[in-house]
Structure 1
């Protein structure tokens, strides 16, 4: 149809550009390019400033939590002898490295500090026979449990939470920068459509 304006085509993808091109003066640089550069720098500075603080705060909170947990576990758990009620299953590969690492849950009998005898389930080595004695950790009421956290485990978990906090800040900054870039990209496309609507009529020849 005469005078019909063809639809705007998306601009070509950006060619390879030198590092820090958004900071250099050139006729193709748009205001949004400069804005994106400044926002990226701001996000980087924010991440570098906030990440260490977040790591310290998260690490300190985690350390206090796990130290309290370890202290409570040491007060409420203790190691004692337990007697197997039944034979433990035998491993299909006797003498293998897998057998040495494998543990099977079986019923065991323990005597609590109050002198009560009770049964609980504990993980023991393969092939142990009934009436064998093993050392296990139990709670105050004689329930089998894990040993209390030690200093190395507290330190490891503390560092893990500190690292996760720092990574979380970095990922948040990267996501914010990416969303900003997406918004600016959409604005550029809208400006391109507007400019094309003004320019296309000059190239349209009536038939």
Structure 2
């Protein structure tokens, strides 16, 4: 049995040939446009998301400040159910707000710390307890992650739309081919269906 060679004709939708239909040209332009929009739109969305996260982290750093607090009770010992990252536990602490009022709340402290031990907590301008702002490495990781996620989402949305439109074009192409076969069959004097 003789083997046939499979030849790939690149950019056939762009070249003039008798088999090319208008829908083929539309599909070629659609795919080119989808590539460009996905790349440029994804890049813009990614950069915008990364910039927004960076601004948010910078705002957190400006608004939060470290405050010295005192443990209002003995800190519990470390247990797997109550521990947080870095081997810390939750305990009640007391601190003063910028206007001099005393406040009490739950903060992360070292396990088994004694009542009266000083610890550092982070508060906003009103003296409300807040999580510690992200350090530089965490901020970069969060900005990059948000940028990649936004870029992937934007590019994916463009491609999903393009593939949906391409599916519609394929349906139209099949209808045109059916009509063309019907006309050819009529010229040959028979009925295929």
TM-score (norm 1): 0.64
Aligned-residue offset at 1:186: 1.5
Q: Which runs of 5+ in 2 are unaligned?
A: 1-5
Q: Secondary structure at the match of 2:79?
A: coil
Q: Does residue 151 of structure 2 align to residue 166 of structure 1? A: yes
- Aligned equivalents of 1:47, 1:35: Cα separation in 2: 18
Aligned-residue offset at 1:189: 2.9
Q: Is the 8 Å Cα contact of residues 69 and 118 (structure 2) preserved in structure 1?
A: yes
Q: Structure 1's 127 and 26: CA in aligned 2 closer, same or farther, altered over 3 A?
A: farther
Q: Which runs of 5+ in 1 are unaligned?
A: 1-15, 93-97
- Note the alpha carbon deviations across 1:110-157, whole angstroms, 9 max, x for none: 344544433211122333344444322234554332123444444444
The count of corresponding residues between Structure 1 and Structure 2 is 183
Partner of 2:164: 179
Which residue of 25, 28, 32 corresponds with 1:41? 32
Q: Does residue 66 of structure 2 align to residue 78 of structure 1? A: yes
Q: Is the 8 Å Cα contact of residues 91 and 127 (structure 1) preserved in structure 2?
A: no
Aligned-residue offset at 1:31: 4.0
- Aligned equivalents of 2:158, 2:166: Cα separation in 1: 12
- Note the alpha carbon deviations across 1:151-183, whole angstroms, 9 max, x for none: 444444443443334323321321222012111
Partner of 2:3: none
TM-score (norm 2): 0.67
Q: Does residue 14 of structure 2 align to residue 20 of structure 1? A: no
Q: Secondary structure at the match of 1:18?
A: coil
The Cα RMSD (Å) is 3.8
- Aligned equivalents of 1:99, 1:170: Cα separation in 2: 37
Q: Structure 1's 57 and 181: CA in aligned 2 closer, same or farther, altered over 3 A?
A: same
Aligned-residue offset at 1:184: 0.7
- Aligned equivalents of 1:99, 1:67: Cα separation in 2: 25
| Mean CA deviation greater in 113-122 or 179-188 | 113-122
